[in-house]
Amino acid sequence: MRFAPPERLAARASALRRELAARGLDAIVVTALPHLFYLLNLRASAGVAIVEREPPGLRLIIDFRYVEAVNRLLEQGIAPPDLETVQVESTYDETLCDVLRGRPAARVAVEADHLSVRRWMWLQKEVDLSPAVELIERARMVKDRHEAETLRKAGRMLAAIVGPACACARRGRSEIEVARDVERLIEEAGFERPAFDSIVASGPNGALPHAHPTGRRLAGGDLVILDFGGVHEGYCVDVSRTVSVGPPTCETRRLHRAVREAQSAALAAAAPGVLASDVDGAARTALEGHGLADRFGHGTGHGLGIDVHELPRIGKRRTGPAGPDDVALAAGMVFTIEPGVYVPDLGGVRIEDDVLMTEAGIELLTPACRQLLDTDRPVPGRGDGR
C-alpha cells in the first residue's frame, strides 16, 4: 500500500485551514471516514478528527482498535507529524464533547452531509456547532500529484481487463456467473476489491441503468451492459462497455453508434474552464440528433477518487437554495464520461471511461476498445481506445 507522503497531507491540511478562515470557522469536526483517509492516511471503520484553523491543531479521536494502526503511521512517517491522538473512554460523542469543551473555539463546524439528525441533536445540547456543506468534498475535487499518479495506474489496470471482462458475456451464461468472473478478473489484476457491485445487465434488463445481476441467461441478440471498477491504493476507477451476444442487429448498432458519438462529443467538450453542465449538454445534443434524448435520463458523469461517486457532478445545471449547482472544470479533476440510452423491452447501451483533466485538456485513463463486440467471436484483450 502506497500512502500519500506527509508533505501532501500537510498541503491538504493547510488548504482546509485556509477554507476555515475564509468561512469564519475556528475548527471542523471530521466524521466522514474517506476524509480521515484523505487527511491522515488512516483507513478505519471509526474515528473523529478535529482540525483547528491555527496549527498545530490536529487531533484524532480513536478507540482501542486503531491505536496501533495510528502509531504505525506515525512511526513510518506517513501521518501528519503534529497529530495528537485521544483514545475513546466511553463513547465517541462523549469524548468529542470533552475535547471541545477543553479547548473551546468560537465557531466549530461539523460535516452536515455526514452527521445524522439524531447525532446532531445530541451534540448540539453539549457544544455549539455550525453545519458545513461540502467543505472537504470540494477540496477533494482537484487531485494532487500523488492522487493523479494512483488513478493513472488504476486506470491502466482496469483497461487491461476490459477485453477479458467483455469475453465473459457469452450466450448461455447467467448474469450472476458473468459478474462473478468479472470480479475475479478485478482481483487478479491487483485491485484491493471491486469499487462497487459489478453490473451485468442483458437484454431487457439493460434498460435498467443500475440493474443487479440476475439468473437470466444471455441469449443470442442480447445487448449486455458491463459496468465494473476496482479500488487501488484507496482510489476508485470505473468503466462500462456494451457488447452483443451474436451479431448485432441494425437497431442495436444504431443505438451503440449514437452513444459512442455522444461520448466522443462530451470528451471533445471537456476542457479547463468549461462548465460541467456544458459537457453534459454536448452528450445530450448528440443523442438528440439520433432522436434518443428521451432515452438518456442520468448524468453524463461523476467524479472519482476515494469514493466511486464524488464531485464534480457532470450533469444538467440545477438550481437549489444555495444557487446554481455547477462547476467549471479544472486541471486535476478526475471524472467519468458515461452517456447511455435505455429502451424498455429491448435493452440499453452505456459506454464509460475515466478522464483526468490537465492544463492541456483531458487525459484518458482507461484506453480500452469501445467497439460493439460480438462475444460469439474472439474478443481482443485490449484495444487502443478508439
Task: State the CATH number of the domain containing residue 94.
Answer: 3.40.350.10
123 lies in the same domain as 186: no
| 3-state DSSP assignment of residue 239 | strand
Residue 331 is which amino acid?
A: A
Task: Express each pLDDT in 313-372 by its tens digit.
Answer: 999 988 765 555 789 999 999 999 999 999 999 999 999 999 999 999 999 999 999 999
Q: How far is CA 15 from CA 12, 26, 142, 168, in A?
A: 5, 14, 12, 45
Q: Which residues contact 360 (CB under 8 A, 6 or more apart)?
A: none
Q: Range with the lowest mean pLDDT among 7-11, 126-130, 202-206?
A: 126-130
| pLDDT for position 92 | 94
Q: Which residues contact 254 (CB under 8 A, 6 or more apart)?
A: 290
Is there a domain that residue 374 lies in? no
**Cα 207 to Cα 201: distance, rounded to the nearest angstrom:** 8
Mean pLDDT across 185-210: 97
> What value does the mean pLDDT of the chain take?
93
Q: Range with the lowest mean pLDDT among 31-45, 100-114, 302-316?
A: 100-114
Mean pLDDT across 125-132: 87
Q: Is the bond into 131 cis (omega within 30 degrees of 0)?
A: no
Which has the higher per-residue pLDDT, 383 or 300? Answer: 300
**Cα 50 to Cα 90: distance, rounded to the nearest angstrom:** 18
195 lies in the same domain as 296: yes
Instruction: Work out whether strand 129-132 and strand 83-87 pair parallel, antiparallel, or are unpaired.
Output: unpaired
Q: Which residues contact 105 (CB under 8 A, 6 or more apart)?
A: 26, 27, 52
**Cell digits for 200?**
451485468
Is there a domain that residue 184 lies in? yes
Is there a domain that residue 371 lies in? no
| pLDDT for position 234 | 97
Task: Express each pLDDT in 225-283 by its tens digit.
Answer: 999 999 999 999 999 999 999 999 999 999 999 999 999 999 999 999 999 999 999 99
182 lies in the same domain as 68: no
**Cα 31 to Cα 108: distance, rounded to the nearest angstrom:** 13
Residue 384 has pLDDT above 60, yes or no: no
Task: Express each pLDDT in 159-169 by its tens digit.
Answer: 999 999 999 99
297 lies in the same domain as 184: yes
Q: Give the count of domains, the chain.
A: 2
Q: What is the DSSP letter of 28?
A: E
Task: State the CATH number of the domain containing residue 174.
Answer: 3.90.230.10
Task: Express each pLDDT in 10-50 by its tens digit.
Answer: 999 999 999 999 999 999 999 999 999 999 999 999 999 99
pLDDT band at residue 1, thresholds of 50, 70 and 90? confident
Sheet with 361-364: strands ordered across: 310-314, 301-303, 334-337, 353-358, 361-364
pLDDT band at residue 144, thresholds of 50, 70 and 90? very high
330 lies in the same domain as 344: yes
| pLDDT for position 385 | 39
99 lies in the same domain as 176: no
Task: Look up the domain containing 74 and give its range.
Answer: 6-140
Is there a domain that residue 341 lies in? yes
Look up the pTM and report it. Answer: 0.94
172 lies in the same domain as 133: no
330 lies in the same domain as 359: yes
**Cα 87 to Cα 99: distance, rounded to the nearest angstrom:** 11
| pLDDT for position 321 | 56
**Cα 275 to Cα 273: distance, rounded to the nearest angstrom:** 6
Task: Express each pLDDT in 48-71 by its tens digit.
Answer: 999 999 877 899 999 999 999 999
Is there a domain that residue 352 lies in? yes
| pLDDT for position 320 | 62
